[in-house]
Amino acid sequence: MVKGSILIMSNVRVRFAPSPTGFFHIGSARTALFNWLYARHTNGTFILRIEDTDKERNSDEFLQVIYNSLRWLGLDWDEGPQVGGDYGPYLQSQRNDIYQKYLKILADKGRTYEKDGAIWFKLEGERYTEYDEFAKKDIEKVRAKPQLIHDMIRGDVERAEDRDFVIYRANGEPVFHFVNVVDDIAMKITHVIRGEDHLSNTSKHCELFRAFGVEPPVFAHIPLILKQEGSGKMSKRDRGALIEEYQKDHYLPAAVRNYLCMLGWSPKDDREIMDIGEIIELFDFPGIQQKNARFDEKKMAFFNSEYVKALPLETLAWLARPILTEAGSITENTDEDYFQEVLMVAKPKISSLKDLPALLCYFFNENYATVEDAKNRVFKKGDPIARLTEALPALERLNDWTEDSIHAVYDAVASEKGQKNTDYFPVTRLAVSGLAGGPDLMPTLRVLGKEKVIARIRNFLEKNK
């Protein structure tokens, strides 16, 4: 919120509360992103809280994955682990004293009892017994007052709990519902933005909030992310589901973040590729859709390609150098001017950083391979060896090695032989690169230089006599 030139901080406090029990899922990333966007839109506070009470499944490795993935996406947190804040600790495993304090509050109000070694939360309402066909026994139920949940996305939703529920297990560990509510109260959370699959838990949470005498926060249950084929919620096992995959494939984090913004939110004007500052300005609950969002791997790749093409040359070079070095395409001794020139020529064709070695290796290495499929495509049409043989002498005679002069050579040879100049291009590209596609041919030939081009054409003709 900005008034004049003075930044006014709001009282909005949102949280992202992942469990370190597995790799970072794209659905978790989108939930974190929507919370972060709302905090930034309102000049509120974005809190990272780690729900690590499951001792058997937690791991430090997965905890680091959460931190690294959030930072990779540019989602900085205002309070939480490694940052601090006034409402810590921010790991639930370190908050047991707080949970015991709140458990005593409920016990003092007569809202807890022990059964089968566990501690149960006691609902208020008329109690009755009903035979449960599934359990094949009588079950005690409660006619509790329905909870009216005011959801910023779903509208008003009425839910009613009909039986007591466990808040502390027999092994002494607190249950998710209990610690979730206690932490939201203790950390003064004002808005709970989470997946639609948590809507079924919300009536339990509202019962607990009101038992503590606290008004529930504002709820906003965002749409689920469905698998690519649209059949069911996307899980960690589905292709494209893990943020780590995009990091390893050298996706640009800004592109991934932008795509995730569009999974369930829209600025209402058909735009999709947007600067994060503009998204922050526009992001609010009315733009979040109710229907579930379908993940589209090809669309994610398209977003990434658009971001790659928009990179300044200096940034592209900074990102490309370690990738090409690791692939063995370049070394620390590779001429920087030549390297930059290659990238300038190739930039319009670069859609993914992970493809750089395959796309550019022939610019730096004489041991490039000829792609068999590319060769088959070139040799299917006309007589490519004859065309290359016709062009070679004219290229050898050319002294002014510029794009225009090289193109003029092909024009002249084609005219003399009664061919089209494009009949000569595919086989020339195959000879100098081993590929059927890539950066524009004339700039490629210019950058490679006459000596290298002539030598490669001769070698290619020799091998394909």
Instruction: Tell me if 33 sits within 8 A of 68, measured CB to CB.
Output: no
For residues 330 and 374, give the distance between their C-alpha atoms in angstroms, rounded to a whole number: 24
Helix 384-397 to helix 403-417 angle (10° resolution) is 130
For residues 251 and 69, give the distance between their C-alpha atoms in angstroms, rounded to a whole number: 13
For residues 133 and 135, give the distance between their C-alpha atoms in angstroms, rounded to a whole number: 6
Active site residues per annotation:
236
Helix 403-417 to helix 441-448 angle (10° resolution) is 120
Instruction: Tell me if 156 sits within 8 A of 221, measured CB to CB.
Output: no
Please name the amino acid found at residue 68.
N
SS3 at position 126: strand
Residues 6+ apart with CB under 8 A from 372: none
What letter would DSSP give residue 109?
A: T
Strands (E), 88-162: 112-115, 118-121, 125-132, 137-144, 147-151, 155-159
Phi (first) and psi of residue 155, to 5 degrees:
85, -165
Residue 184's nearest CA partner among 92, 122, 279, 281 is 92
